[in-house]
Copies of this chain bind each other. A is one copy, B any other.
Amino acid sequence: MAGNLESPEARQSALREVRRMLERQQYLAQLAQQQDPQHRALVEQLAARQEATALSMLLSRLHAADIADILEGLPLAERKRVWDVVRDERGGAVLVEAAEAVRGWLVDAMQADELDAVLQQLDADDILWIADGLPRASLEKRLAQFSSSEQQWLASAMAFDEDSVGNLMTHEVTVAAPAQTVAELVARLQADGTLPPQTDAIYVVDSRNVLQGRIALEKLLLVNAGTPLAEVLSADVVALRPEESAQEAVNAFERYDLVSAPVVNHRRQLLGRVTVEAVMEWMHESSHEDLLGSAGLAGEEDLYAPVRESARNRAYWLAVNLCTAFIASRVIGFFETTIEQLVALATLMPIVASIGGNTGNQTTALVIRALAIDQVRNDNLGVVYRKEMAVALLNGVALGCVVALFALVLYHDAQLALTIGLAMLICLFFAAIVGVSVPLLLKRFDRDPALGSSTLVTAFTDSLGFFVFLGLATLLLV
């Protein structure tokens, strides 16, 4: 492996080294405490200087993304000490690479002037990427320092939604005119000396900045130097619109195996470029958000976040869950007299609710996936509902028999067994309908179906399971 820390082992050993260093310093600090007051200041000063030097030597060997990872893995006090060492030189790059929750903590941990200095290290694209998490005053101060064209570009890009193509794009685009020859373009590129990261193509635009086509970098190597660009460009370009959702950009990158794609307005004027790096970063963050969101967390959470902050992050969905649990409890309360007569009902009822919840959530997961890849449409909704109901009936008969047998063996009561078997069947059938409907409804109301669906489906199937089973029991048994 090269100098980079791409393996988890290498990263963990760097992390261990950093921690060992921090512990050694802690020990020196304790030592300093035992000295008489005159010496203490000197020892402390020496220790601090030694730490900073050793740490910055170790960290200078690492990629900013690795440092961001190390910071995320450190408790808050130690994180601050490491951050103070890297801040002045590479703080900007580390801030860009850090996970959202950690970035927020780092921003909060800085004085206003320290933050201003760090933001100085960042260009317009980086500022666009982290703008959402910055205090308004610092952001505006930094924005004012950009050139007026950059300011204009930033203002238009920041106007787009956080999860839109406009917010993913970079303004670093290499363009050329169609009348230029390959040799002229190459000469200009050589004069510039470098290309923006992940440049796989040069975009050809006319005098009004309208996109005419793209020329892959390799083409510049392979074709005759005297050819005009107009003759080598490929006009069939997958171009994105800034108002499209980031998910659509992901789909286009996956579908057409892109490395970068131009962003154009409705007049096909070139606004910027989206790179596969930004697309992957967005995919990564949104898959984590989906995972956390579906489990009922309001946002990304720092592993070392203060307890109170973490508790707040979880409170919203717990409150929702509390309400739905109260409702389910009231459904049971409605049948208290029935339960009083046959306490076995209380024992068996969670089975119906639990299996109902699970089948409903299986259906919901399939629908969420199908929605993500545009496979559910009005004209095949009927197919989806019919199929899920059929699967539920099949599973309902099978599971109903097993549960009925379980009840029969335990309570030797054929009628009770029949009741719970029938309740399972009915409950699974409705769970399937709910499982399809909930994500569709969330989508219709422009909510992310990956986030609330599971809680809502479970809430419904819980109450439904109790109601169907206890209701049937009241009708058939008592």
Contacts and interface: CB of A to CB of B under 8 A. Distances in A.
Nearest to A387: B307
A101 to B, nearest CB: 10
A66 B288 contact: no
Given A317-B358, A365-B291, A281 B307 contact: no
Interface string A369-387: 1101111110110011001
Interface string A332-347: 1100100110011111
A129 interface: no
30 contacts: A4-B236, A12-B377, A65-B254, A65-B256, A73-B377, A198-B200, A200-B259, A217-B218, A257-B275, A259-B276, A279-B280, A280-B283, A292-B365, A296-B365, A301-B366, A303-B375, A303-B383, A310-B391, A314-B359, A314-B395, A315-B398, A326-B351, A326-B406, A329-B348, A329-B350, A336-B346, A340-B343, A343-B346, A350-B353, A350-B466
Interface string A348-360: 1111011100110
A11 interface: yes
Given A347-B336, A462-B350, A73 B394 contact: no
A416 B197 CA distance: 65
Given A329-B348, A332-B346, A346-B349, 5 more contacts: A2-B238, A8-B374, A290-B291, A303-B375, A307-B390
Nearest to A376: B303
Given A198-B259, A256-B65, A314-B362, A280 B291 contact: no
Nearest to A1: B239
B307 A394 contact: yes
Interface string A234-264: 0111111100100010111111110100000
Contact of A321 (B15, B343, B354, B368): B354
Interface in A178-235: 186, 189-190, 193-195, 197-200, 217-218, 220-222, 235
A377 B198 CA distance: 34
Interface in A272-294: 275-277, 279-281, 283-284, 287-288, 290-292, 294
Contacts of A370: 303
A288 B72 CA distance: 26
A308 interface: yes
Interface residues of A, number: 143
B329 A186 contact: no
A39 B65 CA distance: 72
Contacts of A280: 253-254, 276, 279-280, 283
Given A359-B318, A366-B297, A200 B197 contact: no
A5 to B, nearest CB: 8
